[in-house]
Each structure stands twice: as structure tokens, then as C-alpha cells.
Amino acid sequence: MIRPHRRHPLWLAFALHRVSGLLLALFLPAHFGLLGTALNGAEPLDAALAWTDNPLVKFAEFGLVFLLAVHMFGGLRLLALEFLPWSPRQKTLAAAAVALAAATGGAFALQLV
Amino acid sequence: MTTAQKSGSGTDTIGNHGTGEGADESAGSSAPGAALSVSVWRGGPGGGRFHDYEVPARESQTVLDVVSWIQQEAEPALAYRFACRVGMCGSCAMTVNGVPRWTCRTHVQRVAANGRLQIAPLRNLPVIRDLAVDMDPFFERWTAAEGRFHPGTTRHDPMAPVDPASPARREADAAIECINCAVCHAACDTVAADPDYLGPAPLNRAWTLLNDAKDEGRDAILDAVAGRGGCLSCHSMGSCTRHCPNGLDPMRAIAGLKRATALRALRGRR
Amino acid sequence: MLTPRLYLAQRLSALILAPLVIGHVAVMIYAVQDGLSAAEILGRTRGSIGWALFYGLFAAAVAVHAAIGLRVIAHETLGLKGRGLAALTWAIFALLLGLGLRAVWAVTAGGAA
Ligand code: SF4
Ligand code: SF4
Ligand code: FES
């Protein structure tokens, strides 16, 4: 599992930021490729979108929104850490970033169903 | 002789100010006559393994006491380092139950999990033998980070006044009490992943010098910390700050270096 | 594994991306309400210079940001450095920028011409 010296909130925030960033980067080409099918009109895009009705894909979409939000809010915390006057409340801010991301993902999921 | 007697005693609290390290560890029991099960890593650069020892549990026992007992009573050839035994010299750091710690100021009671201790050499440094690691790569990084004073005046010049209340001096003061124990170096995963990375302690030292009104090496310092493996490699994961036994915050110091580096780059002076 | 210039590019692209991500997520939460359809997506974006600029900037910033992020991961986990690392960074940047702009073109101008 997580090695003892890593069991603290800011390390977990780091891991979340890295994993979310990596997954989002890997997802991007597929996302761009799907939208690119619209070059040939609406039908190919519709055909590709039909695939997104699958509940599993829907869940993955929720996951993607959460990853995007958590990478953004977590990244804003890091920008603030580096460029704004120092705040000693980094653990609280990291938790707030995750909470905001969960709320964003939740709002998206509510619209999906 | 009771456990209650020692809680709140002077030695227990001095030096642990401002750090949350170890707060989540379960307190082990140390009833009189009880024994600790201690695994100590023994070996050399080619590899090694854990050896098990039974060590009598004592009141107010530190992890260093345990290691010393093993060396004196059971394993005379055991290699380990210590000097001051009061948290000043920075030579006694080891990995205790997976966490890097200064062993002379770490009470067994606070870190033993069900009377068990696992003691290994510090991570991220080459092992010489048993619990003694080669600190050279650590100190070479201090040099590479320009972690030395850059005087600009001679004894014939007037002394530059230093205002203790100035923001720069406060930043330097907050970061200056480093004992070179390499606990942060061992805790940092970027040190583990990137052989070029200077690591938290040398960068923390560079930050104190950058904020020293008497240091004239500003450009040399920024050149050193902006380069490959410098402050820009830090991921602000805060393992350094979390585990620094002296309550320093290298993560914060490095953030300051990043800002100084970025500002200099923005002004076009790379 | 970052030069000051790469570091600035990474942080500036992040600063640009943050509001664009918020906008994008807001649009998505609104758009998925009654399921995704090509007609609905394209109806919003086709012929819109505003959306073309919005997503064009998004694609460019994300190409910069992801290329530098993946560069760091490649260095730390695969041990890549020097020319190989530089080549990988540029390749990821070019791939994401190309695919991204193609997708933006597809949903804003494609088919309309
Ligand atoms: S904050 Fe930076 S220096 Fe400290 S442990 Fe993390 S990467 Fe290492
Ligand atoms: S910063 Fe703290 S952990 Fe790191 S060497 Fe100095 S005293 Fe030890
Ligand atoms: S022996 Fe000197 S700090 Fe522990």
C-alpha cells in the first residue's frame, strides 16, 4: 500500500495531481479524435456519440469531469502556493480542492441521469 | 517509574515544536519487564537483510537507545552513527518503521507498533554498512546549491545592518535551524526519482542565503537553484516539511526560490 | 527537469486553462442534460467565432501544459533525458496541438464550408 513516509495529505494531493494529469493527457487524443469526426458532417459524430450512451462510458465521463476538476482546483492551490503570499493552511486548501472537484463531478453526474 | 510520570517531561517536548511528525503513530506499550521486537537491517552496498533482536523495554527509551543496546549487548559489529544524543548534530537519522527520523530524539513509545520496531538505514543515500549511510552525495548537493556564504565586504568595511524584523530576515530565520540530518532528503520522492535533484535541505539553505542581507551571491545562488535538478523540480508534496524533526518547512523555502527564479526569468535574465 | 522557461510556460498555460476549464465544465453540465447529440453540439459551435477562439486557445494551452507535464513524468519515471526528452516533449506538443486544432475546426467550421 502507501509507504509510511507518504501517508500525509499533501503527498496524497501530489499523487492525485499526477495521476489525474496523466490520465487526462492520455484521454485527450481520443477526445479530439472523436470531435474530429465532425469534419465529415454530423452523422459520423452521432455514430461515435451513440457509444457514449453505454452506462459504463457514462461513469467514465463522470470520472473524467472529476479528474479535470481535481486537477484544476489542485493546480490552482499549487499556483497560489508558489506565487501568492504563503499560507500555512495547505492541508485545508488541498482538502477544499478535492471537495470542490467532488461537487463539480456530482453536479455533472446529476445531469447525466 | 510509571509511564504517566514521563509524559510532559522536558526532554519529551523540547525540539518537537511545530512539527506534526509522528502524531498519527499508535503509542506502543512498554510495561516494565516487557521486551521490544526489533528488526535491524544489516548489510552493505551489495545488499542485506533484517536481523531480529529482543531488547528490554525501558522508560523514556529512544530509538537510539535501542540501537545502542543492540550494539553493546548483542551485536558488537553493528555499524551506526550518533554523536550529540540531544538533537543537535544531525548524525543519527535512520528509517524507523518506514519513516525517516532522528533516532536520538524519537521515543520508542511514540513510534513502536505493538512493541515492534523496524530500523533501516536512511533512504536515498548509499549504504556503507548496516545503519550507516554515505552522506557525501547529500553534502555535495549543498555545494551544488551554492549553500555557502558569499561575503562581499572585508573586515575593514562597515558592517551591513540587518533588521531582524524585515520580511527577508524573518524568512531566513524561519529556515535557518537545519542540523543537516538528511531526514527530508530521505523523505523526498523527487530525490528518489531524479538523480539530479538537489533536494530539500540544500535548497532550504540556499533560500536562507538569498534572504541574507549580507550575502552578495544572489545571482550565483539563483543560477545554481534554477538549473537542472534545482527548485523547479520540486512537486510541493511536503514530505520534507512533514518529517523535518526541527520543524523547518523546506517546501515553503523552495516555493520562495521558485518565485525568485520565475521573476528573474520573466525579466529576461536567465 | 524544467528550465525557467518551461516552468513559466507550464504555469502560464495553467493560468490560462483554469477559467477555460471552468467554462468548459459549465457548458458540459448544461449540455449533457438531455444526452449528447451531434446536432446539439454542432448547433452551438458551428460558425461561432467565439467558440472557435475559446476552444482554439484551450487546445493550444492544453498542448503546452500536457507536453511539459508528461515531460516531467517521463524524466522521473522512465529516466529519459537530453535530446530524447526534448524530442518527446515536442512530439507530444505537436500531436496534441494538431489533433486539438483539427477538432476545433471540425466542430466550428467543418462541414459548413
Ligand atoms: S516538497 Fe519538494 S523537496 Fe519537499 S519532499 Fe516534496 S518534492 Fe521533495
Ligand atoms: S531541513 Fe530538517 S530534515 Fe532536512 S536536513 Fe535540515 S533539519 Fe534535517
Ligand atoms: S545524535 Fe546528534 S542529532 Fe541525534
Pairing relationship of beta strands B35-44 and B47-56 according to DSSP bridges: antiparallel
| Mean pLDDT, rounded, of chain C | 92
Indicate the number of domains in chain A. 1
Residue B18: is its pLDDT beyond 70? no
Residue B1: is its pLDDT beyond 70? no
The answer as to whether A29 is a domain residue is yes
Asked if the Cβ–Cβ distance from B194 to C1 is below 8 Å, we say: yes
The answer as to whether C57 is a domain residue is yes
The answer as to whether A17 is a domain residue is yes
CATH number of the domain that residue B175 is part of: 1.10.1060.10
Closest chain C C-alpha to A18 CA, distance in angstroms: 8
Q: What tens digit of pLDDT does each residue of B34-71 get?
A: 899 999 999 999 999 999 999 999 999 999 999 999 99
pLDDT of residue C47: 86
Domain containing B121 equals 35-133
Number of the ligand closest to the Cα of A82? 1
In terms of domains, do B146 and B122 share one?
Answer: no
pLDDT of residue B264: 94
In chain B, which residues have their Cβ closer than 8 Å to the Cβ of A10? 236-239, 241-242, 251
Task: Provide φ and ψ at C4, rounded to 5°.
Answer: -55, -35
Cα(A8) to ligand 2 centroid in Å equals 18
Cα(B133) to ligand 2 centroid in Å equals 16
In chain C, which residues have their Cβ closer than 8 Å to the Cβ of A52? 36
The answer as to whether B2 is a domain residue is no
Query: Nearest residue on chain C to A74, judged by CA atoms?
Result: C18
Ligand 1 site residues, Cβ closer than 6 angstroms: B 187-188, 190, 200, 234-240, 250-251, 254
Query: Model ipTM?
Result: 0.92
Question: Of B262, B260, B261, B242, whose CA–CA distance to B251 is shortest?
Answer: B242
- Would an 8 Å CB–CB cutoff place C2 in contact with chain B? yes
The answer as to whether C113 is a domain residue is no
What are the residues facing B187 on neighbouring strands? none
Residue B101's pLDDT band, with cuts at 50, 70 and 90, is: very high
Closest chain A C-alpha to B100 CA, distance in angstroms: 7
Residue B102 Cβ inside 6 Å of ligand 3? The answer reads yes
In chain B, which residues have their Cβ closer than 8 Å to the Cβ of A22? none
In terms of domains, do B53 and B156 share one?
Answer: no
In terms of domains, do B123 and B206 share one?
Answer: no
- SS percent in chain A: helix, strand, coil, step 5: 90, 0, 10
The answer as to whether B23 is a domain residue is no
The answer as to whether C88 is a domain residue is yes
Residue B234 Cβ inside 6 Å of ligand 2? The answer reads no
Closest chain A C-alpha to C44 CA, distance in angstroms: 13
Domain containing C9 equals 4-108
In terms of domains, do B115 and B170 share one?
Answer: no
Instruction: Go through B246-255 and write b for each residue having 16 or more CB atoms within 10 A of its CB, e for each that does not.
Output: bebbbbbbbb
Query: Nearest residue on chain C to B264, judged by CA atoms?
Result: C4
Cα(C64) to ligand 3 centroid in Å equals 47
pLDDT of residue B17: 39
The answer as to whether B3 is a domain residue is no
Q: Do the beta carbons of residue A59 and residue C8 sit within 8 Å?
A: no
How many angstroms separate the CA atoms of C7 and B261, rounded?
10
In terms of domains, do B111 and B124 share one?
Answer: yes
Query: Nearest residue on chain A to C30, judged by CA atoms?
Result: A111
Domain final position from B133, B166, B197: B133
What are the residues facing B51 on neighbouring strands? B40
> What stretch of H or E contains B87?
none
Indicate the number of domains in chain C. 1
Number of the ligand closest to the Cα of B225? 1
Asked if the Cβ–Cβ distance from B228 to C1 is below 8 Å, we say: yes
Residue among A3, A8, A91, A92 with most chain B CBs within 10 A, to mutate: A8
Residue B244 Cβ inside 6 Å of ligand 2? The answer reads yes
CATH number of the domain that residue B123 is part of: 3.10.20.30
C-alpha cell at B36: 521490544
Q: Do the beta carbons of residue B22 and residue B110 sit within 8 Å?
A: yes
Indicate the number of domains in chain B. 2
- Would an 8 Å CB–CB cutoff place A76 in contact with chain C? yes
Q: Looking at the partner chain, which of B98, B187, B235 has a beta carbon nearest the beta carbon of A14?
A: B235
Q: What tens digit of pLDDT does each residue of A76-95 get?
A: 999 999 999 999 999 999 99
pLDDT of residue B268: 79
Domain containing A69 equals 9-112
The answer as to whether A3 is a domain residue is no
CATH number of the domain that residue A72 is part of: 1.20.1300.10
In terms of domains, do B254 and B216 share one?
Answer: yes
Q: Do the beta carbons of residue B137 and residue B229 sit within 8 Å?
A: no
Cβ-Cβ contacts under 8 Å for C60 (sequence gap 6 or more): C97, C100, C101
Question: Of B210, B201, B198, whose CA–CA distance to B172 is shortest?
Answer: B210
pLDDT of residue B22: 41
**Residue of B207, B254, B257, B258 to mutate, ligand 1, most atoms within 8 A of C-beta:** B254
The answer as to whether B10 is a domain residue is no
Residue B126: is its pLDDT beyond 80? yes
CATH number of the domain that residue C17 is part of: 1.20.1300
All partners of chain A with 3 or more CB pairs under 8 angstroms: B, C
The answer as to whether B29 is a domain residue is no
pLDDT of residue B269: 59
Query: Nearest residue on chain B to A12, judged by CA atoms?
Result: B237
Cβ-Cβ contacts under 8 Å for B211 (sequence gap 6 or more): B168, B169, B171, B172, B256
Pairing relationship of beta strands B99-102 and B35-44 according to DSSP bridges: unpaired
- Stretch A32-44: mean pLDDT, rounded? 86
Angle B85-B89-B92 (CA atoms, 0-180°, nearest 5)? 60
In terms of domains, do B85 and B144 share one?
Answer: no
